[in-house]
């Protein structure tokens, strides 16, 4: 069922004030883990409370592993006219310069994660959180509720614009236990050696760093096991696009949406 976003967004604003004061007191690993679990429960509750309206846009999940080809699939969906909300974009927004989220990140990790211009130094922060699960939980405890609230706002805009379906592209849907809030779930997959090659080429990362990024997420096989649809991107771009079109038609059928809405020539 689709998402009704207005009430969850109001809840988010109240809950974020409580979460912010909690983060300032987080110091020990156990406290960090508790704060992360609290934030994760809040994020899922915002989404769950939105799945109650009878008319509006239906959000399906688009996930996979790092460098598995999610962006390629998302680009094809957008070309077909399907809006895709990018979790990475939301994550950047919630730690933008001057934001409460950025202040909390700097407080939690120190001023060295900021660039001289005050913006977040993403490579420095990434080197910390990809190497330390506790640090990653600390960061997610800060960002998850804010991302969930921003997601609700974005979905509300799509519903008011008359969209029938939209994708939510996020690498950690399964890790966060949110797969059932984003059905049907589409998992984009490829062999690990393909992931490694893509990461090393794209980010000029070492073999060790590339492996650490892959290992920081659940194995793709576990995500595939939970998927409604799987798109394998190990082949050519044309093959990936063809499979994406097949999955989009199947999603339309499952959700009783007219596929002709999305299959004008591209």
pLDDT at 144: 87
Task: Confirm if 223 and 64 have CB atoms less than 8 A apart.
Answer: yes
The pair of three-digit structure tokens given for residue 85, joined into one six-digit string: 């909300």
Is residue 189 a part of any domain in this protein? yes
Domain of residue 50: give its range: 6-261
The residue to which tokens 């957008």 are assigned? 78
- C-alpha–C-alpha distance, residues 3 and 10, integer Å: 14
Q: Packing angle between helix 6-23 and helix 29-50, nearest 10 degrees?
A: 170
pLDDT at 244: 98
Is residue 1 a part of any domain in this protein? no
Is residue 266 a part of any domain in this protein? no
Is residue 123 a part of any domain in this protein? yes
Give how many domains the chain has, as a whole number: 1
| Beta-bridge mates of residue 120 | 114
| Beta-bridge mates of residue 58 | 165
pLDDT at 172: 87
Is residue 124 a part of any domain in this protein? yes
Task: Confirm if 24 and 70 have CB atoms less than 8 A apart.
Answer: no
DSSP, collapsed to helix, strand or coil, labels residue 233 as: coil
Is residue 26 a part of any domain in this protein? yes
Task: Confirm if 73 and 62 have CB atoms less than 8 A apart.
Answer: yes
- Successive 10-residue mean pLDDT values, the chain, 266 residues: 42 48 45 46 55 68 95 97 95 95 96 96 91 90 90 90 95 90 96 94 89 90 97 97 98 95 77
What CATH number has the domain bearing residue 35?
A: 3.40.50.300
């Amino acid at each position: 069922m689709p998402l009704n976003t207005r009430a969850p967004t109001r809840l988010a604003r109240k809950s974020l004030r409580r979460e912010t004061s909690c983060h300032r007191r987080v110091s020990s690993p156990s406290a960090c883990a508790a704060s992360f679990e609290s934030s994760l429960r809040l994020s899922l509750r915002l989404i769950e409370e939105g799945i109650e309206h009878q008319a509006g846009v239906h959000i399906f999940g688009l996930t996979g592993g790092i460098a598995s080809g999610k962006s390629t699939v998302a680009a094809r969906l957008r070309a077909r006219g399907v809006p895709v909300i990018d979790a990475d974009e939301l994550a950047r927004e919630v730690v933008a310069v001057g934001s409460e989220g950025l202040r909390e990140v700097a407080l939690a990790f120190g001023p060295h994660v900021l660039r001289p211009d005050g913006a977040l130094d993403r490579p420095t922060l990434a080197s910390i959180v990809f190497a330390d699960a506790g640090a990653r939980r600390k960061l997610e405890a800060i960002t998850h509720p804010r991302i969930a609230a921003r997601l609700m706002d974005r979905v509300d805009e799509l519903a008011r614009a008359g969209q029938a379906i939209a994708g939510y592209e996020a690498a950690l849907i399964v890790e966060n236990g949110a797969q059932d809030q984003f059905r049907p779930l589409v998992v984009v997959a490829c062999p690990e050696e393909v992931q490694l090659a893509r990461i090393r080429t794209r980010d000029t990362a070492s073999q060790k760093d590339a492996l650490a990024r892959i290992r920081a997420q659940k194995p793709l096989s576990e995500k595939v096991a939970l998927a409604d649809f799987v798109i394998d991107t190990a082949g050519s771009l044309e093959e990936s696009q063809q499979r994406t079109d097949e999955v989009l038609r199947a999603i339309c059928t499952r959700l009783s949406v007219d596929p002709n809405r999305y299959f004008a020539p591209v």
